[in-house]
Chain A
Amino acid sequence: MTPRPVAPGGASPSGLVVVLGALVVVVAFASTTITWASEGLARADVLVVFALLIAVGEFLRFTLPGERDAAPIGTAMGLAMALVPDIGGQAPGYDTATVVVVVTVGTAVGVLPHTVAGRGPRAEVLARRLLAVTLAALLFRTLPWPGVGTLEDLAPGWDDDRYLVAIVLLLVALAASAFDAVVAAVVRAGRDHSPLRPALTDEVRAGLGISAAIAATGVLIALAARPMDLIALPVFAVPLLITQFAFRRYAAVRSTYRQTIRSLARLTEIGGYTETRHSQRVGALAVAMGRDLGLSESDLLDLEYAALLHDIGQLSLTDPIPGGATVVAAAVDQRRIAELGAEIVRQAGVLDTVATIVERQADPYRRARLHDVAGDLEVPLASRVIKVANAYDDLVGDSGQMSPQSDALERIHLGMAFEYDPRVVTALTRVLARRSFDAARG
């Protein structure tokens, strides 16, 4: 792992994406103004229908798990507009700049109500989507491929082999989706201070399903517009609407699940076993450290649940440990709490990974190796993270002041290499440094 700077320096990737998107919009508006002034509009109805449907699609935007903004219908319509070779037997008669203008206008109209209500999407998300559609339009309509010219001019020559058109459109749409995923990963890695490769894997994994549906629907609409004219647009958006509904329900239950675990993690606090907000603080710290260590999104979710529930075993104790600070409790008590907690979590039958993480949270990093215990020698990384995060929070407590912070770090450093994994402690140091940097910056 290459060392990463504690604080980001220079321009952030998300800022770059927004600037690039804005640049594309300005150029496109300028270019279309000139074209429309000299040549007029070929088919205004096509542009209006696309803009309307993109607006509807953007209005129906929702949030996928992992705080990913999605507007499947808007994106699919944008792709269809970029890629349609033929509408009702005629060439569509617009260029890439027109696509950019229509997508921008449609998106602006669709997003407006959300922005007014104060829950508009981030500018970077909109810019990223626009850039992906622009890329598709450029590849299909503008870029002269060596020896053959643009793909748009090439398509009518394949009238006897229409499936070739389908394959070409699909490849272009996939290229646009891949671009979208890469940009999203770069932005996310920059924002979360995590390595790029796991961020990229996460984006691809999270987007594989919905992106494939969007790309395929965009291509399908583009192909169906030839025999069906503009009616193909709304009619073939309906199936994607149903898919979107399923995703919405999925995203909703995921977020409820998460909120519920966060809430029920407070059981130990309300029961007087732990300090107020201890579980939440350990959860947030553990997730920040896990990101820094490059854990994948699903591993991070397990880590978060395990960190939130790490003290749940105390519910099985008759008497609370004074102050709830498990780091000062006897090692045997710590292990007992860990085991009881794992037992409770394992009862759910669906969180076995989380249960294992909770179970091993009290194990010293080196114990297994020193004593040559049989079985699983390696303490799970997530357990090692929770051990450090929990110790830090127990030592610093609610105060969050500077001096106990450094005292706590020092105590943890003393236990490093036996109790605590040095790599995890380094991650904690980086996370804390970033926090104080952010605090200093305001």
Chain B
Amino acid sequence: MPADMPVRVHVYVWLLLALTLSCLAVLLPPLDWTSGEWSAAAVLIILGAVGYSWFVTLPTRGTISFGFIVSLAAIPLLGMTGALLVGTAASALQFNGWTKVVRAFNSAQFGLASLCAAVVYVAVGGSTSLAEVAPGDFVVTVVLPFFLASVVHCLVNVVLLSGVVHLHKGASFWGVVVTTLRHSESDVGYALFGLLLAVLWEGAEIGPLSAVLVLAPLYVARWAWSQFDEQQKAYDRTVRALVRAVETKDLYTRGHSERVSQASVMIAGAIGMGEQRTENLRFAGILHDVGKIGVPTRVLQKTGRLTETDFAAIALHPVRGVDMVRDIEFLSEAYDGILHHHERLDGRGYPMGLTADEIPEFARIIAVADAFDSMTSRRSYRQAMPVADAVEELRRCAGTQFEPRFVDALVVALAEDPWTVAQVTPSEDEPAAGGVTPTFDHDDPAVELPARARRPAPVPRREIP
């Protein structure tokens, strides 16, 4: 959290902490723990501190830390007071250099979440002396109550956290709750590690050594997620670097692929597309023009009028692009987006002259994003169009060239998220090192291909398995 936090956030956090500490003040003094229980609490607090400090950032589901597992294990091992103590102390001791407020908030919220979970656990008949539970009773007196407790822990955690986000960012409270909950489903699964820890510790009488045993699978899960994250980023950056290398052929279109990808994702967001499909669309957007590498430089560099043969070469670029990426398995839907992004609703597009609903959804979205970025970028033969004029032009061509629904979606998205126009504006005297300045842009709706070049090319349509 940044330093410029509103006062109301401070009030909220310190009130929560005061509540947690008063719970501790009420519950701790009557405690008659043996030295064994005190040392168990100490070991759990240290383990929890390690767990809370181990953050893994996941690309789609925020961050995950394993401290809550230890707090949950404290419930059957040490009861309500133990859970509160471990949850509060472990997150207060975490060693990743949080500011005082964040640390205070974490101790308060994890302490309270553990306490609420423990109360529910005991209320539904959960056992706090695992060694005495008969094997047949385990499901009813341990497993089910523990599952319920982990759900409660998750809910309290999400609600308290959403409170902060709501007060800090002013976002709708329930909106934040729903998004955070959606990202927490795996937490309930991971909570089972806490049950395992408790069962081994007391039920199987292994003691603190069980913590070491539980750490192995936990560390591995954490490692796998961080590797996933790393690979995902590396993949992303590599594709961008290679696409940028293709774009160096033309100074004016630098960054075009990434902006088309961005605008496509904005449209996807406005029509409520799912996470996985949006991700595929993002890649389709980045890769939509890679086939341009197959258009002879001679054609791209040409300053005079283009012949029909030249246009035919250009009209083949979606096919070339698809040729290249057809071996990438996950791309199946993106493939259609790349191949058909120059089709028009009225059937006058290329390479196949598909009409209306025959054109795959990805292609219809990319077509809008593509034309939009082309119009709002500067070209050698014209200045960049203001966003409003470009939208006007899209509206004018909606129904014949573009899908009206996606044009509307782009307008909605633009209202929420203002568009940053292409920054690359090459000056006339810049030496065109490897770069060329063509006299037209094939993405520009104002540039029409001659009728014969528009004739659908004989391309076999790929069957989706």
- A: residues with CB less than 8 A from B are 88-89, 162-163, 165-167, 170, 209-210, 212-213, 215-217, 219-220, 223-224, 226-229, 231-232, 235-236, 238-243, 246-247, 249-250, 252-257, 259-264, 266-267, 270-272, 312, 315-319, 344-345, 347-351
The contact of B237 among A227, A228, A263, A349, by CB within 8 Å, is A349
Task: Please encode chain B, from 115 to 153, with 1 for each CB lying within 8 Å of some chain A CB and 0 for all others.
Answer: 000000000000000110101101100010000000000
Judge whether B135 and A88 touch: CB under 8 Å. Answer: yes
Judge whether B196 and A236 touch: CB under 8 Å. Answer: yes
Chain A residues with Cβ under 8 A from B210's Cβ?
A: 166, 223
Name the interface residues of B177-204: CB closer than 8 Å to any CB of A: 186, 189-190, 192-193, 195-196, 199-200, 203-204
Judge whether A231 and B138 touch: CB under 8 Å. Answer: yes
With A249-B228, A270-B291 already in contact, the answer to whether A344 and B245 are too (CB < 8 A) is: yes
Judge whether B203 and A228 touch: CB under 8 Å. Answer: yes
Beyond contacts A166-B200, A227-B135, A239-B190: 13 other A-B pairs, Cβ-Cβ < 8 A, are: A213-B216, A213-B220, A220-B213, A220-B217, A224-B204, A239-B193, A240-B217, A246-B225, A256-B235, A267-B242, A270-B294, A318-B436, A348-B241
- Across the A-B interface, the 3 shortest Cβ-Cβ residue pairs: A227-B203, A216-B216, A246-B224
- Looking at B321-329, B363-371, B400-408, B411-419, the stretch in contact with chain A turns out to be B321-329
The contact of B213 among A166, A247, A263, by CB within 8 Å, is A166
With A228-B199, A242-B221 already in contact, the answer to whether A256 and B216 are too (CB < 8 A) is: no
Chain B residues with Cβ under 8 A from A224's Cβ?
A: 196, 199-200, 203-204
**B248 lies within 8 A of chain A by Cβ:** yes
Chain B residues with Cβ under 8 A from A260's Cβ?
A: 235, 238-239, 325, 328
Task: Specify the chain B residue showing the minimal Cβ separation from A240.
Answer: B217
| Bound CA–CA A142/B244 (angstroms) | 63
Judge whether B324 and A266 touch: CB under 8 Å. Answer: yes
With A209-B223, A220-B196, A235-B143 already in contact, the answer to whether A257 and B135 are too (CB < 8 A) is: no
Chain B residues with Cβ under 8 A from A256's Cβ?
A: 235, 328-330
**Nearest CB in chain A: distance from B413 CB, A:** 27
Task: Please encode chain B, from 203 to 221, with 1 for each CB lying within 8 Å of some chain A CB and 0 for all others.
Answer: 1111101100110110111
Chain A residues with Cβ under 8 A from B234's Cβ?
A: 257, 348, 350-351
**B103 lies within 8 A of chain A by Cβ:** no
Judge whether A227 and B238 touch: CB under 8 Å. Answer: no
Name the interface residues of B362-385: CB closer than 8 Å to any CB of A: none
Chain A binding surface SS class: helix
Judge whether B136 and A229 touch: CB under 8 Å. Answer: yes
With A243-B220, A256-B330 already in contact, the answer to whether A315 and B293 are too (CB < 8 A) is: yes
**B22 lies within 8 A of chain A by Cβ:** no
**B462 lies within 8 A of chain A by Cβ:** no
Judge whether A267 and B224 touch: CB under 8 Å. Answer: no
Judge whether A162 and B245 touch: CB under 8 Å. Answer: no
**Nearest CB in chain B: distance from A424 CB, A:** 27
Supply 15 A–B pairs (Cβ within 8 Å), ascending by A.
A212-B220, A217-B217, A223-B200, A224-B199, A238-B189, A246-B225, A263-B324, A264-B290, A267-B246, A272-B294, A272-B296, A315-B293, A316-B245, A316-B434, A350-B234
With A253-B232, A256-B235, A315-B248 already in contact, the answer to whether A213 and B221 are too (CB < 8 A) is: yes
Judge whether A220 and B221 touch: CB under 8 Å. Answer: no
| Bound CA–CA A226/B206 (angstroms) | 11
Task: Specify the chain B residue showing the minimal Cβ separation from A271.
Answer: B293
Judge whether B190 and A228 touch: CB under 8 Å. Answer: no
The contact of A263 among B233, B327, B434, by CB within 8 Å, is B327
Name the interface residues of B309-361: CB closer than 8 Å to any CB of A: 320, 323-330
| Bound CA–CA A348/B233 (angstroms) | 10
**B240 lies within 8 A of chain A by Cβ:** yes
**B63 lies within 8 A of chain A by Cβ:** no
Judge whether B209 and A166 touch: CB under 8 Å. Answer: yes
Name the interface residues of B258-306: CB closer than 8 Å to any CB of A: 290-291, 293-294, 296-297
The contact of B297 among A162, A227, A264, A319, by CB within 8 Å, is A319
Judge whether B324 and A264 touch: CB under 8 Å. Answer: yes
| Bound CA–CA A317/B246 (angstroms) | 11
**B231 lies within 8 A of chain A by Cβ:** yes
**Nearest CB in chain A: distance from B76 CB, A:** 12
The contact of B327 among A89, A235, A259, by CB within 8 Å, is A259
**B96 lies within 8 A of chain A by Cβ:** no
| Bound CA–CA A213/B218 (angstroms) | 8
The contact of A227 among B193, B204, B325, by CB within 8 Å, is B204
Task: Specify the chain A residue showing the minimal Cβ separation from B294.
Answer: A270
Task: Specify the chain B residue showing the minimal Cβ separation from A305.
Answer: B238
Chain B residues with Cβ under 8 A from A239's Cβ?
A: 189-190, 192-193, 196, 217, 221
**Nearest CB in chain B: distance from A327 CB, A:** 23
Judge whether A242 and B186 touch: CB under 8 Å. Answer: yes
**Nearest CB in chain A: distance from B147 CB, A:** 10
| Bound CA–CA A351/B219 (angstroms) | 26
**B227 lies within 8 A of chain A by Cβ:** yes
Interface-central residue, A215, A242, A252, A316, by most chain B CB under 10 Å: A242
Chain A residues with Cβ under 8 A from B242's Cβ?
A: 264, 267, 312, 344, 348
The contact of A259 among B186, B206, B296, B329, by CB within 8 Å, is B329
With A312-B245, A318-B434 already in contact, the answer to whether A263 and B221 are too (CB < 8 A) is: no
Chain A residues with Cβ under 8 A from B192's Cβ?
A: 235-236, 238-239
| Bound CA–CA A390/B237 (angstroms) | 27
Chain B residues with Cβ under 8 A from A348's Cβ?
A: 234, 237-238, 240-242
Task: Specify the chain B residue showing the minimal Cβ separation from A345.
Answer: B241
Judge whether A229 and B138 touch: CB under 8 Å. Answer: yes
Chain A residues with Cβ under 8 A from B233's Cβ?
A: 350
Judge whether B199 and A261 touch: CB under 8 Å. Answer: no
Task: Specify the chain B residue showing the minimal Cβ separation from A243.
Answer: B221
Judge whether B294 and A252 touch: CB under 8 Å. Answer: no
The contact of B294 among A255, A262, A271, by CB within 8 Å, is A271
**Nearest CB in chain A: distance from B208 CB, A:** 8
With A209-B224, A238-B192, A264-B242 already in contact, the answer to whether A270 and B203 are too (CB < 8 A) is: no
Judge whether B135 and A261 touch: CB under 8 Å. Answer: no
Judge whether B217 and A257 touch: CB under 8 Å. Answer: no
